[in-house]
């Protein structure tokens, strides 16, 4: 599973990366966490507000930091 955190490295982006990793580890799934900081690459995925979370190519959230439980639902 590929999990991408889209953002410029702000505090919310870092928190989202931590929660995404925690969610994946909690479920015991194999995953790769990629942090995308290149603004044109972020916009190319259709994310206009960071942080963004993409799971296997599908945008799951943008503009806020979802709970670990919400992220786990998306990873199931």
Mean pLDDT, range 66-72, rounded to an integer:
98
The residues facing 58 across adjacent strands are 55
Here the CATH number for the domain that contains residue 40 is 3.40.30.10
Q: Which domain holds residue 19?
A: 2-75
1, 2, 10, 11: the catalytic one is 10
**Residue 33 — φ and ψ, nearest 5°?**
-105, 120
Scored b (16 or more CB within 10 A) or e, 2-20 reads ebbbbbeeeeebeebbebb
Q: What is the pLDDT of residues 15-68, one digit of tens each?
A: 999 999 999 999 999 999 999 999 999 999 999 999 999 999 999 999 999 999
Helix (H) or strand (E) holding 42: helix 39-44
5, 6, 13, 42: the catalytic one is 13
pTM exceeding the 0.85 threshold for the entire prediction? yes
How confident is the model at residue 69, as a pLDDT?
A: 98
The total of structural domains in the chain comes to 1
Let me know if 43 is a catalytic residue.
no
Let me know if 13 is a catalytic residue.
yes
């Amino acid at each position: 599973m590929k999990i991408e955190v889209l953002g410029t490295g702000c505090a919310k982006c870092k928190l989202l990366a931590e929660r995404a990793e925690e969610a994946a580890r909690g479920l015991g799934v194999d995953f790769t966490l990629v942090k995308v900081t290149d603004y044109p690459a972020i916009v190319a995925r259709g994310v206009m507000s960071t942080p963004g979370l993409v799971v296997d190519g599908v945008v799951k959230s943008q503009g806020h930091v979802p709970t670990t439980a919400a992220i786990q639902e998306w990873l199931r």
